[in-house]
Homo-oligomer: A and B are copies of this chain.
Amino acid sequence: MIIILKSGASDQQIDHVIRRVESMGLEAHLSRGTFRTIIGVIGDESQFQPDRFQVLPGVADVIRVLPPYKLASAEAHPQPSVVHVAGVQIGGGNLAMIAGPCAVESAERMESIAAAVRAAGANILRGGAFKPRTSPYSYQGMGEDGLKILRETGDKHGMPIVTEVMDPRRVELVERYADMIQIGARNMQNFVLLTEVGNTKKPVLLKRGMSATIVDLLMSAEYILARGNPNVVLCERGVKGFDTVTRNVFDVAAVPACKNLSHLPIIVDPSHATGRPDLIPACALAGVAAGADGVHIEVHDCPEEALSDGPQALLPEQYAEVAAQIRKMAELFGKKISNLAGSK
């Protein structure tokens, strides 16, 4: 941690800062310059609290040198982590191909979509039973009935399932059915929920919030890791931007950036990132080319009847096409895709 003093800081102020540093069991190294004086702070950085120094008289700025996350950092764990989701590996050269409808709507629809995405090359099935909807008047999901349908459909097709949890009181329920628990973008900083899924051992798909920095995302992963659950997969799904052509800005650079900072796998979700079927395939391929450990795509066989987010879903035949291209790119980059249909 580095404390930069204001140009006019008095000796008394500097002494006060140094005494504060030392009173916390840390070492202070003073460096006086013609323009500015700086104090390097050495010691157990886990105790550093920049806020406490920022407010001291004479202090211009306090700069953290080490990242505020530890367990999620690449320094703590130099090898990329591989997260295992009921036989499907994510990370370390293994791609997740997650597909399915936005919401579980009925057993029949789930079955037809699952059969289609399975045949097309998906290795994990998704579907929402509890839906976060902007409007209280929109469809809110089937609840536990949806979980059952998703479980049965996944089992039938030999696919692990991932589904979202929104309520800390429902984590236990969702954990019982799902192979992987999704934390949605709007809940990325729902620390109560993060703590609850951290208390399980289930793999967690942690979606980046719309206004979350990459460091914010890693801090939210840290919440889960700190509770003892190491199975976190990050997901870039678009951040808030000013353009109206796309729903969000697909921040593809977050993929290599996270890989530099962290050992956790990161996948991309071009469905939510763009909100437009005509842009999803290009962005899916962009994500894989950028090094993503998987692709999450919403697929629906009749978007006009979808109860939620129909317009951002691909048709099964569109999904089959992009999945085939992803497999070619995976081959080009030497990536593996476990649990492909017919590969069991």
Which A residues fall within an 8 A CB radius of B? 2, 4, 7, 20, 27, 29, 31, 33-36, 38, 40-43, 45-46, 51-56, 60-61, 63, 65-66, 68-69, 75, 132-137, 166-169, 186-187, 189-192, 195, 209-211, 213-216, 219, 222-223, 226-227, 239-246, 249-257, 260-261, 273-274, 278-279, 281-283, 285-291, 303-306, 308-311, 328-329, 332
Q: List 11 A-B contacts (CB under 8 A).
A: A27-B33, A34-B43, A136-B191, A136-B222, A166-B192, A246-B257, A249-B249, A250-B251, A253-B279, A285-B289, A329-B329
Measured in the bound complex, the distance between the Cα atoms of B250 and A214 in whole Å is 14
- Cα separation A219 to B186 with both chains bound (whole Å): 14
Measured in the bound complex, the distance between the Cα atoms of B215 and A170 in whole Å is 29
Residues of B contacting A168 with CB < 8 Å? 167-169
**Separation of A132 and B220 alpha carbons in the complex (Å):** 11
Q: A136-B219, A209-B211, A213-B244 are in contact. List 19 more A-B contacts (CB 8 A).
A: A4-B63, A33-B42, A34-B43, A35-B65, A51-B309, A51-B311, A52-B304, A52-B310, A54-B310, A55-B311, A69-B135, A134-B219, A213-B245, A243-B254, A253-B273, A282-B289, A286-B287, A289-B290, A289-B329
In whole angstroms, what is the CA distance A261 to B222 when docked? 36
Chain B residues lying within 8 Å of A216, measured Cβ to Cβ, are 134
In the complex, what's the smallest C-beta–C-beta distance from A6 to chain B, in angstroms? Answer: 10
Q: How far is the CB of A43 from chain B (nearest CB, A)?
A: 7
A189-B132, A328-B332 known; A256 and B279 CB under 8 Å?
A: yes
Q: How far is the CB of A257 from chain B (nearest CB, A)?
A: 5
Q: Which of A241, A243, A332 is most buried by chain B, counting CB atoms within 10 A of its CB? A: A243
B255 to A252, Cβ gap below 8 A? no
Is there contact, CB below 8 Å, between B250 and A135? no
**A190, B187: Cα distance in complex, Å:** 7
Write out the residue numbers on chain B whose beta carbons fall within 8 Å of the beta carbon of A137. 46, 68, 226
Tell me the nearest residue of chain B to A53, going by C-beta.
Answer: B304
